[in-house]
Structure 1
Amino acid sequence: MKIIYHGHSCVEVTLDNKMVLIFDPFITGNPQTDIDLNHHVDYIFVSHGHAHHVGDMVALSKKFNAPIIAIEELAHFAEVQGATTHPMNLGGSSTLPFGFVKVMHAQHSSSIEINGQPQYAGDACGFLVKADNKTIYFAGDTSNFGDMELFGKAFNIDVALLPIGGRYTMGPSEAAICARRLQASKVIPIHYNTYPEIQQDPKKFATLLPEGTVQILNSGEYFDVQ
């Protein structure tokens, strides 16, 4: 399994069988991205309705017939536009061809702008994915909250993808607390440095956790999960 960072919160997981999972597919307009809409995907995970996370979900779903895994209301929004969807909800789980997925609680808002007005898009969430005998936790946009300790006790998390940007999500210090609660073997920071208001130094974040825990990826770089 390889985890490839495509900027902001857009993360790709390429499985050993070459199946491609993509999370929060913000490609068009993403100043950090290294891919375009010809990049093949098999499944699309969307954590919430904000534009820099929904991104190109509908276009990619239509192009590759890739199901969008998202909260019920957000999946419905995509389905109305012709996308293929696999709606879920908080605490729910599914077994799919790539493996197991569970929808995890996140503390964040979620809306889609329609005709210039924000419209409710269901709850924000994270995802826990088990595939290739590994467990990946994509936190989405969230603050640090106490139940993450329960996540760490319930699941043997190999890699946690955590936002560190601050202002709209938890910042580095909160993310470090979160990582310890999760007991994650490795942590990859996401959702930072895309825009001036979420500037952070990932190297400073890395110093808040035991040496070797944090894997910093620039856009297009990958981490091989062993």
Structure 2
Amino acid sequence: MEQIIEYIQLNVAIAPYLIFGLLFLAGFNIPVSEDLMLFVSAILAAQNPEYATALFIAVFAGAYISDLICYGLMGRYLGTKIFKIKFLSSIASPEKIEKITNFYEKYGILTLLFGRFIPFGVRNALFLSAGLGKMNAWKFAISDFIACSISCVTFFSLYYHYGKTVIEYVKKGNIILFSIAIIVALILFLRKKNSKSLKV
């Protein structure tokens, strides 16, 4: 990945196409970091203002279309067949999908809006579970468009204006969000377990 990033930085004119292409692949659960692409595109935009618009459109379109692929093709179309694909089974294990589906049932679109900001493989599991659970396609597309817009504009702007100085704060923010998600998931799991034991 380091060599790819270096190549992108040395070829600014085609950088938007490369960034879009890499994020497009991420929709198929190829390990491409959206956060890294946002950082690289924003830094390049700051260094080359004439490409700023093209770079932002590329990273936004790539991120959004990647989400739709993960939801539509991988989740709705392939469905449970994805569990038979070795490199996807760890990202989208039945247990992880069940936990996220519980969030959907309880909090609806808010799950998607909040989850869009959680890295560490949670995003794709979120989109897959939305597809597997046959979440309304328009509802997913609209809510994810809103969430993607907020996250891309926020992080692109931060990196564009502050560069590397803001990375540590973003990392800490991601860790906090991830920790909150784990705690909420644990609380829901315990509540579900307790309600089952009470019924018995």
The TM-score range, normalised by the shorter chain, is under 0.3
Higher relative contact order at CA 8 Å, sep ≥6: structure 1 or structure 2?
2
Could you say which structure has the higher strand fraction? 1
**Structure with greater Cα Rg:** 2
Q: By percentage of residues, which structure has more helix?
A: 2
